[in-house]
Amino acid sequence: MGNTDLSARIDDLFARPPSEGISLALVIQQGGQVIAERYGTQPANELQSALQITADSTMISWSMAKSITHAAVGIAVSDGLVDVEAQAPVPEWADTPKESITMLDLLEMRSGLSFVEDYVDDSVSNCIEMLFGDSGPSHAAYAAALPLLHAPGTEWSYSSGTTNIITRVLGDVLIGASGGAPERRKEVMQTFLRDRLFGPVGMDSAQPKFDSAGDFVGSSYVYATARDFAQFGELYRHDGITDLGRGERILPEGWLDHARHKSAHDDSGGADYGRHWWMWPDLPGELHCSGHEGQYTCVIPDSELVLVHLGKTPAPVAAGLAARLRGMMQLF
């Protein structure tokens, strides 16, 4: 791979006209070492002046947080607290057709529950209503109460509500009960994420956010630096070992392949869906976290490669950004 080719592609990425999106951070690591890094400027708006992004800037994950939720589930599996093949322990589903929904159905976005994942039209979006509307204190309770449209495990439908059901289950198993004081639930999950995931991985900047019921909003809200998102990618590059050869295993052996087990193909974006991770079919072995407006953490274990992109790219031109990033990775 020529450094000149990569540098030219990075220059081209950051020189995009605003109509094609804005890149705010790019970190590329190979073999655990940073080989390319670039930061941009967040444009001024009515609330703040222009902001130069740096290596110390924390930025929102959006749906990259879903892949972090997959890691949290893996730790709980290692602890014997969660069985992904078992029915999801959701109290309000007892003695209803929903009780057959498994944790794996939730991880594969095959719950069968109704959920409109739209980021623009708040009149038809369960996602906007859940995250920003008057949906009640618990994102999970809101999502769990939606109608069952399909038999569990039969139809794929991407849903942020599904992920927040998972994170409430994690909160329940960690404290040993459903419900309880929001402050207690938040404290227990914060400690779990810090001590069992972010700390061992080296994500010192990571800041998870919580709903009013005290549950981790694992669908959308982790703030971290680009380099720390790359550290999360390294965890999966090493199949759950924090520092290959010297570190500790914090995810079950094989959790990398668990993540990239194909459960669906999304025609609109051209990517395959695994279990809270995505895969690009033209990059064999690749998997990536993907978030609204062009947030990516991409991992190709065979190439020892991790790529992080953060910025603001509108959905209508998202395919162009994805093609640029895939083109960079194809150089390796």
Q: Return the pLDDT at 308.
A: 98
Cα–Cα distance list, 5 to 144, 310, 326, 328, 330 (Å): 48, 21, 14, 9, 11
What residue segments make up the domains of the chain, in order of their start? 59-329
* Residue 191 to residue 198: CA distance in whole angstroms: 10
Whether 283 contacts 326, CB under 8 Å: yes
* Residue 252 to residue 132: CA distance in whole angstroms: 35
* Residue 265 to residue 282: CA distance in whole angstroms: 13
Whether 270 contacts 251, CB under 8 Å: no
pLDDT in tens, the chain (332 residues): 457 899 999 999 999 999 999 999 999 999 999 999 999 999 888 888 899 999 999 999 999 999 999 999 999 999 999 999 999 999 999 999 999 999 999 999 999 999 988 777 656 788 988 899 888 999 999 999 999 999 999 999 999 999 999 999 999 999 999 999 999 999 999 999 999 999 999 999 999 999 999 999 999 999 999 999 999 999 999 999 997 667 899 999 999 999 999 999 999 889 999 999 999 999 999 999 999 999 999 999 999 999 999 999 999 999 999 999 999 999 99
Q: Return the pLDDT at 45.
A: 85
Q: Return the pLDDT at 1.
A: 44
Q: Return the pLDDT at 209.
A: 98
Alpha-helical segments (H) within the chain:
3-14, 64-78, 103-107, 126-132, 139-144, 160-175, 182-193, 199-201, 226-237, 255-259, 318-329
Q: Return the pLDDT at 245.
A: 64
* Residue 172 to residue 189: CA distance in whole angstroms: 10
Quote the CATH superfamily of domain 59-329: DD-peptidase/beta-lactamase superfamily (3.40.710.10)
CA atoms within 13 A on the CB side of 70: 32
Q: Return the pLDDT at 90.
A: 97
The terminus-to-terminus CA distance of the chain in angstroms comes to 6
Whether 25 contacts 311, CB under 8 Å: yes
Q: Return the pLDDT at 44.
A: 86
Q: Return the pLDDT at 122.
A: 58
Q: Return the pLDDT at 256.
A: 98
Q: Return the pLDDT at 207.
A: 98
Residue for token digits 């589903």?
Answer: 93
Produce one character per residue of 63-81: b if its CB has 16 or more CB atoms within 10 Å, e if not: bbbbbbbbbbbbbbbbeee
pTM of the predicted protein model = 0.96
